[in-house]
Amino acid sequence: MDISGFELRTPIASRREFDEYMGVDSGLLLNEEIEAARPDLHRAFARDFDGPLILRKVHDRCWVTRRGERVFPPELSRGAVYLARDPRDVAVSCADFFGLDIDETIRRMNDQDAALANSQSHGSTQLPQPLGSWSQHVASWLDDSKMPVHLVRYEDLLEDTPDELRKVAVFLGLPAEAVADATQMVTFHSLQAQEEQKGFAEQLQAGKRFFRQGRAGRWRETLSAAQADRLWRDHEAAMMRLRYA
């Protein structure tokens, strides 16, 4: 997608893109070898792009390879827009998305070794993406990215979408007209309609919606008191920091 000269590419952890840029079939590499190549992959993106800004979606925590290299080199980045959501609602949403029960989802949200597409079988279309626990993920981007970070809470985005997108645009140096266009494109009903017409590439389970309800606080209707308390005990500091007390 092109917005007034700014290019949007997603996702950033595509095996196809890795194979094209790095000149090697990622299916022939160990996860450790892919990890070591990730910083160079992102440098290749920057080197080959002649526009003002590439916008990339990232699932990973902000992490460092075993060689000590930052996977997302801060010298190449204007900054990161970090989208946070109440972990109690994250548990509900992720359980539905991955087809897991709530207790298993909560366990994974506190797993320091949690990752996406981390199987050595290479059956995924995406590269391995370390996540860490929910609290680790938050801290990695807000405290240790070595680049400017703009925090957006999902709940605030629902409450006042135009204002939150305006702040993002200011942070990234995007033109004002991009905000007005984007606001119409990303209303929840608009996203549902687009998914109905075209599908959504990242939905794992056929027949289920990715854009389901778009509400904040749904955990109150879904989680037991013990499940909500467990998330609070596991992530109290980060939840307090992001005003999810």
Read off the pLDDT of each residue in 31-54 and give the average, rounded to a whole number: 89
In order of their start, the domains of the chain are: 2-241 (3.40.50.300)
The Cα 83–Cα 46 span in angstroms is 23
Please list the alpha-helical segments (H only) found in 49-160: 87-98, 102-109, 134-144, 154-159
SS3 state at 8? strand
The Cα 218–Cα 86 span in angstroms is 10
- CB contact at 8 A, 94 and 86: no
Q: In sequence order, which residues have a C-beta less than 8 Å from that of residue 206 and are 6 or more positions away? A: none
Q: How far, CA to CA in Å, does 224 sit from each of 52, 128, 173, 195?
A: 48, 32, 43, 31
Instruction: Please say if the pLDDT value at position 211 is more than 60.
Output: no
149 phi, psi to nearest 5 deg: -130, 130
Report pLDDT digits (tens) over 142-164. Answer: 999 999 999 999 999 989 988 89
Report pLDDT digits (tens) over 44-91. Answer: 988 888 777 888 889 999 999 999 999 999 999 989 999 999 999 999
Tokens (6 digits) for 245? 């007390």
The helix (H) or strand (E) run that includes residue 171 is helix 161-172
- What is residue 124's predicted lDDT score, i.e. its pLDDT? 79
